[in-house]
Structure 1
Amino acid sequence: MKKNGKYRFSLQFAAESNDQICVGEFLERLGNRKSTVIVAALKEYLSNHPEINSSEAHIKVRVEAAITRQSVENLIRSMLDERLTALALETPSGAISQEQQDALEEDISAMLGNLDMFQ
């Protein structure tokens, strides 16, 4: 909003990602100098992307999770593999039966399928 020759805005965003925390902490350190830095940063961005000033321009912001589903699945599988190796070493015969392996694989697949609940 422009009032008395000045623009006044309120800015708020979550602290849910490392990027948001990094920017939030930086802005906090700036104190009353935030507006100078924001104007300079946006002016630089607008200079590099003049098409944004077009009335037909659409701004699309895409936010990606810091941790992907695939990386979580890989981490879980790695942890389970380590545990299964330890179990095999603890088993008197030194091996897990094919039936046990199949049951474990089914359980792992079901568990990974339930990751959708955490998105």
Structure 2
Amino acid sequence: MKKDGRYRFTLQFGSDSEEQIRVGEFLESLGNKKSAVMVDVLNDYLMSHPELQKAHCKIEVKVATGYNQDKMEQIIRKIVEERIAKMQLIEIQAEASQDEIPETMEDDIAQMLDNLDLFQ
């Protein structure tokens, strides 16, 4: 926005990627010199890409997430492996507790039979 012969803009972006954090920290370190740096950097960019200054130029912004295909696959693989390990642990615990049931039941039956002598 141009007011009183000066341009004024507000800039805001997230900290979702390493690139955003790096730029954000750099801009933060500039203090009151942000405007001068932005003018210089954007002028260099516009010199390298003169087509951007054409009236009907279409500007396409590609937003890349902080994750790529390989990283996503690694995360998913790790989650699946953790779930499988938990399931295997639960199965082992269930098998162990089932093995203990007959012994416990046999002990209970033996104790009941011993107690039958009391009723005679």
Q: Same fold (TM over 0.5)?
A: yes
Distance 2:37 2:70 in 1: 37
Deviations along 1:33-54, one digit per CA (max 9) or x if unpaired, are 0000000110000000000000
Q: Does 1:49 align with 2:49?
A: yes
Query: 1:32 is aligned with what amino acid?
Result: N
Q: Which residue of 1 aligns with 2:68?
A: 68
- The number of equivalent residue pairs is 85
Bigger relative CO (Cα 8 Å, ≥ 6 apart): 2
Query: Any gaps of 5 or more consecutive residues in structure 2?
Result: 89-120
| TM-score, L = length of structure 1 | 0.61
Query: What percentage of aligned pairs have identical amino acids?
Result: 46
Q: Which residue of 2 aligns with 1:16?
A: 16
5 Å-filtered alignment, 1:89-104, equals none
Query: 2:7 is aligned with what amino acid?
Result: Y
2:16 and 2:66 in contact (8 A); partners too: no
Q: CA deviation at 1:75?
A: 4.6
Larger proportion of helix: 2
Distance 1:48 1:69 in 2: 31
Q: Does 1:25 align with 2:28?
A: no
Q: Alignment RMSD, CA only?
A: 2.2
Shift >6 Å, 4+ stretches: none
Query: Any gaps of 5 or more consecutive residues in structure 1?
Result: 88-119
Q: Which residue of 1 aligns with 2:37?
A: 37
Q: Which residue of 2 aligns with 1:115?
A: none
- Which has the larger Rg? 2
